[in-house]
Structure 1
Amino acid sequence: MNLTTMKAEDADALETEMQILHDLEHPNIVKLYETYRSKKNVYLVMELMTGGEMFDRIVEKEHYEESMARRDLTVIARALEYCHQNYIVHRDLKPENLLYSDNTDNAIVKLADFGLAKVCKEEPFMKTACGTPGYVAPEILHGERYDYKVDVWSFAVIAYILLCGFPPFYHPNNAELFRQIKRGKFEFPSPFWDNVSKDAKDFISSMLVVNPVERPTISQCLKHPWLVGDSNSNLTPNLTKLKEYNAARKFKNAVTGIQALQRMRRSLATLEKPDEPSPAAETAVAESEE
């Protein structure tokens, strides 16, 4: 990563991420082995994860059961518990940040990307608005102070998707999506939830609670009857919905990446000709004002 082209806040975030990863040692968190620095660049030697994203692997399955979702969710919850016990809030839990270690059937899921993570040992509450639409907790959207429980909300959204194939809150317009999240009203629509156990539904309902005071900690989630139990059901029919959601998610991420690249190119063009206003610069200003 080139430090000379980074904004100051991005460089600070990178330093924070490197320090957090250096201090973490857990079998379900991607390991940072070494960092190397030159005058312009910093290089991170990370644990090799060859199994791909969790959702990508699941949609490839021909048969899918509730117990499979439970296994992965238990692993993620343990990784989050370890983070919280070490005063670290991830703040960006989403499918892209859940990776399988390898391509075998026994591969384990690991938590990755601590770019938005925060150490909150001295001050347990945070104010910075961050996260990914669809997974962000309502207290962040309300502009309130928040704590570790924002990770529990994001974890619950992922759990919901794993069980039925689509998110509890969805709208192509982010403003409407955020309104849905702040209201916190969701359903278990038929037929996608018909085969899902009552314990699993209770597990989801216990976490997707708007008031963070009433939301359980991740340690409490690990003791829920569904995670410690053995209830099972066939969720194979829901793989079709998960494939659709996963494809739409990847397409949206690709479009967002292209838009970000275009904005960066316009900014660079403006810097190269600071005294000559260009259509690109005018466009960039117009976009920032929208």
Structure 2
Amino acid sequence: MDKDGKKPKTYVSTFRLALKPQARPLCVDKKKDDNRTFVGNNKLGVSSATGPPVEFLDPPEQVEVRAGEQARLHCEFRSSSVPVVCCWIYNRDKVVEGGPRMSLRSNRPDPPASQPVISQMTTQSLVLSWTGPSYDGGTAVLGYVVESGLEPQGLYRFRVRAYNSAGISEPSQESEWVNMATAEKKKEERMTYITVTIDTKHKVKDHYNVHEKLGVGKFGQVFRLSHKETGQVCAGKFYRARTSKERAAARKEIELMNCLHHSKLVQCLAAYDTRPEMVMIMEYIAGGELFERIVDDSFEHTEPTSARYMQQILEGMRYVHKQNIVHLDLKPENIVCVDTTGTQIKIIDFGLASKLEDDKPLMVMHGTPEFVAPEVISFEPVGLETDMWSIGVICFILLSGESPFQGNSDPETLALVTAARYEFDQESFEDISDQAKDFISSLLKKDRRCRLSCAEALAHPWMVSFTPLNRRPTKSLNKGKMKRFLAKRKWKKTGKAVLALQRMANLSNRPDSPGSSSEEPSWSQEAEEAIRSLDKQLQSEPRFQQALKDTTLPRGATARLTCLVNGYPQPELKWLHDEKPVCESCRVTMEQNEDGLCSLVVADLEPSDSGIYVCKASNKLGEAMCSAKLKVEM
């Protein structure tokens, strides 16, 4: 019994460790009849007395210890000459050097640095995440042992130990208690929702400290905040609210957020309106954009994980649609991860959302070309089905890394959307199931009345096939195209403004539009200012996301030196070979794609092509460079 009179928690581990010396001896005196085991070397290389230069008096023996205990290997030796240096060898690797009375003491690692964090929990499974030990004991951590404690009420608690060749660590801090039988219900119960009343008496800085900028948009800017009393970290959306129209739009978003209390939707926590400033306080979501997380090398990306992301998006949007609200700006940037370790997501940015009214058709002039539905471009009434089209596009990209309607220009993209013209590229969808393609096709219907609703999409066979009880072997999806898609997106940030301007052009050319004429449409001053503002916000100096790599090729082969560079305006490239400019020829070609992928191709390699190649990228804001060595073998 513990000091509180309670029965101690039981933890179960089956880890067992056995240590024994592995190395064969090294010997200065190589007598065939001397089979004693030792590791030694006379630094002088000369024996000053008879007998072997070095011999063991008490050689090390096999040692077995329990997990968590220390192992001590001890031996004594003598030498006929000094000084002597010795070392311990484990699995053919030298461990440490010392003198005649040296003993080797292996250290087990420190315990994991953080308590286990539980995520993605269902009634059948959960994901456990933790941070590794701050010190590995001097040798690599080989793995971890997860221990679980179980209470009679069905409550689970977890802790983790790290182990290396020397032993097993002390346990980490314990996780929070969880009840998997009622996991989803309890999670919803723990969520607390706030109905926000706009504060018109205080300024946001009366209650919050304002920190670094997190992002910018046409509405204004977002900053990280921390509450002065509680320390709670939040995000503050600072609206540009100089005009009555801008203020009305800000108030509209805050009012809509009071209707959207769901775990898959970003939550509004407070709001301030003290002229000329309007601020909405939102929960801070630290995980970053979902697509950015997916391309990380350590992040799993398969068809089942993609299905689970889509399931979460549909669950959140089903709630939104039940409130008769349409988001109208669903795209990868607005799907973010709750934290940096789990796989839970939230939908953000309801700045363009609207509540539908039965007797008042809604027509909009905004959106991002790749993700808007045909009815938006045609300036026809939109509905809940308009979001379902965008969800279909997101799923297409999630599985393939390619955008289904991306053309070479915005007009071409809009034309493909209007015609609902797309195809499942054989290479990109080679490892994707037919059910997944049917799911996408059921959403990308030109007639919005034919698209699946959220409830119908959640019941689609593709969604149902990936449940915790229906697991099957899956293949990791290629992330290369997804990386290129994200790079290209950085060049397309002005898409929303471009579409809005095109809508203005279409409207101004309508026969029934006031002031319409056959002449070229003239943009309003407000539109021109918006496009200039977005252009300025996008500007950044060149930066290499993927550098050149050293390569060795045989004579006569073709070398392709490739790198990925970002920057706006698009950087100009210069290639150097051993500090001399490279010129295009029948053997040498240079490629630069809009998405920042750059290549130098050298065909029919010759020995003189060997050397250091440098790629220099520059725009008006700065310069960057990367280099690699090419070796041509004879």
- Please say whether Structure 1 and Structure 2 have the same fold, judged by a TM-score greater than 0.5: yes
Question: Shift of the alpha carbon at 1:52?
Answer: 0.2
Question: Shift of the alpha carbon at 1:10?
Answer: 2.6
Q: Which amino acid in the other structure matches residue 263 of structure 1?
A: R
2:328 to 91, 97, 122: 91
TM-score normalised according to structure 2 size: 0.39
Task: Answer yes or no: is 1:53 the counterpart of 2:53.
Answer: no
Give the corresponding residue for 2:458: 222
Q: Which amino acid in the other structure matches residue 21 of structure 1?
A: M
Give the corresponding residue for 2:532: 263
Question: Shift of the alpha carbon at 1:260?
Answer: 6.3
2:240 and 2:246 in contact (8 A); partners too: no
Which blocks of at least 5 consecutive residues in structure 1 are unaligned? 266-290
Q: How far, CA to CA, are the matches of 1:169 and 1:112 in structure 2? A: 23
Q: Which amino acid in the other structure matches residue 81 of structure 1?
A: R
Give the corresponding residue for 1:236: 477
In the TM superposition, what are the counterparts of 1:158-197 in structure 2 within 5 Å? 158-197=394-433
Task: Answer yes or no: is 1:35 the counterpart of 2:276.
Answer: no
Summarize the Cα distance change of 1:101–1:170 in structure 2 as closer, same or farther, 3 Å threshold.
same
Question: Shift of the alpha carbon at 1:46?
Answer: 0.7
What SS does structure 1 have at the residue aligned with 2:391? helix
Q: Which amino acid in the other structure matches residue 480 of structure 2?
A: T
Which blocks of at least 5 consecutive residues in structure 2 are unaligned? 1-237, 467-471, 498-527, 535-634
Summarize the Cα distance change of 1:224–1:114 in structure 2 as closer, same or farther, 3 Å threshold.
same
Q: How far, CA to CA, are the matches of 2:473 and 2:436 in structure 1? A: 9
Question: Shift of the alpha carbon at 1:37?
Answer: 2.2
What SS does structure 2 have at the residue aligned with 1:23? coil
Deviations 1:228-277 (A, max 9, x none): 1127642422x1000000111023328999x9677359xxxxxxxxxxxx
In the TM superposition, what are the counterparts of 1:138-153 in structure 2 within 5 Å? 138-153=374-389
What SS does structure 2 have at the residue aligned with 1:10? helix
Deviations 1:191-243 (A, max 9, x none): 11011011001001111110111112121111101011127642422x10000
TM-score normalised according to structure 1 size: 0.84
Q: How far, CA to CA, are the matches of 1:256 and 1:222 in structure 2? A: 29
Q: Percent identity?
A: 31
Deviations 1:154-207 (A, max 9, x none): 000000000000111111311111110011121111211011011001001111
1:197 and 1:232 in contact (8 A); partners too: no
Q: Number of matched residues?
A: 262
Question: Shift of the alpha carbon at 1:39?
Answer: 2.5
Give the corresponding residue for 1:287: none
Give the corresponding residue for 1:67: 304
Q: Decide which structure has greater strand share.
A: 2
Task: Answer yes or no: is 1:246 the counterpart of 2:246.
Answer: no
Q: How far, CA to CA, are the matches of 2:405 and 2:293 in structure 1? A: 23
| Worse-superposed segment, 180-189 or 8-17 | 8-17
Q: Which amino acid in the other structure matches residue 101 of structure 1?
A: V
RMSD, aligned α-carbons: 2.4
1:34 and 1:46 in contact (8 A); partners too: yes
Q: How far, CA to CA, are the matches of 1:217 and 1:207 in structure 2? A: 9
Q: Decide which structure has greater helix share.
A: 1
1:66 and 1:233 in contact (8 A); partners too: yes
Summarize the Cα distance change of 1:249–1:45 in structure 2 as closer, same or farther, 3 Å threshold.
same
Higher relative contact order (CA 8 A, sep 6+): 1
Q: Which amino acid in the other structure matches residue 332 of structure 2?
A: P
2:325 and 2:356 in contact (8 A); partners too: yes
Q: Which amino acid in the other structure matches residue 246 of structure 1?
A: L
1:23 to 259, 262, 278: 259
2:287 and 2:340 in contact (8 A); partners too: yes
Summarize the Cα distance change of 1:139–1:88 in structure 2 as closer, same or farther, 3 Å threshold.
same
Larger radius of gyration: 2
